[in-house]
Structure 1
Amino acid sequence: MTKQEFLQRLNRLLADVTPEEREEALRYYEEYFDEAGPEQEQAVLAELGSPEKVAAIIKANVPGSRIPPRYQAPGAGQAAAGGAARYANPPQYPGAAPKNDNRTLFWVAVVAALLILSPLWLSVLGTVFGALLAVIITAVALVFSGAAVVIAGIIVTVKGFLTIGAGVGTALLVAGMGVLDVVLGFAMLGVGFALCMLLVWLWRMAVRGWNRAKEALAQKKARGNEQ
């Protein structure tokens, strides 16, 4: 809901009060929005609540409304002199700002549940953190070890061919061992890089999930402000 939508709906809801009082009320709330500024528009809407709620409170406090007397505030039958003063102070309409009692109780319950279940979620968090740390260490170790094995295998292979003068069989054996080292080193590098890619993927998924959670909370808050 926007400022204009709020004021338009409030205008329709105040059809049973005198035009002077309706214009005064609309002018008050329009100035209230203007003083807060466009960047605080949603905050003001959340503070005031729904137009229906604000209209009901105005009708109960504004002289000249054609609602049953039992809903009117004391002095409702007096003249409408000094109408602007009635809107100078927001507490004139008690209840216009939504109560946060339920929200406070909700967060208190959440904190209490976290404290009670702390041994469980701390153990789970520790297990997940330990597993991630182990994967990181393993990936780094495999990458560096694989690179070292590849280099060592190349050196052994070259050395084997250089010792061909000592015998073809010996040279081929040494060179073959070097080739095996190279293959093993590349295999270790492959596993290490695969683990690194897995970590990157997990990080992206975590960031994406966090962004979606923030968007969901923002949408829920926006829907709450519209109600």
Structure 2
Amino acid sequence: MDRASYLKKLRGKLHRLPAHELDAALAYYEEYFDEAGENNEQQVIAQLGSPSHVASQILADFALKDLETPSAKSTKKKMTAIWLIILAILSAPLSLPLLAAAIALIFSFGVIIISFIFAIGAVVASIFFSGIAALIGGVLILTEHWPTALLFMGIGLIVTGLGVLLFPMVVRIIKKIVLVSVEALGRLFHKITKKKKGDF
């Protein structure tokens, strides 16, 4: 493999990056080849590793760097970062058992996080809807026994209010969980694919 085919393969592996990031990454590696000189192309290729390895590092680094920017608050940005890191892990040239272990770990990690998020959402929703049910129950028995109806309506209003108050807090917790999960996934990726001699 020569310099041109190496950079072409690298470009193909990085096609999901934004254009400016793709151009910056390719410019960096072109400069790297330029500094080494035409006679040392094979040494540079051996030193860098395969285009897949380099691409997986670039994708993971971009995903983590993108999360640290102030504009990375949206859930869409976080999900994009998760997919970029998963893509980086899957495109990394790992041995088959290591790749299988990485996929199993990512899958189980994802299932745990999604289950936890759904559990939190279900608790808040059940609090809110049980308050609504108590309020409706109180209205329905208002003509039969008004003290009990007022008790039900009061409890219903309190519990419904509690559900409404908990909602923004739960949204913040879920966003934090997603952010921490993405960063943990990125660290896991770097541990799996880290080269013994220097990163590029």
Band of TM-score, shorter chain? 0.3 to 0.5
Q: Please report the TM-score for the alignment, with normalisation by the length of structure 1.
A: 0.40
Larger Cα-atom Rg: 1
Structure with the greater relative contact order (CA < 8 A, sep ≥ 6): 1 or 2? 2
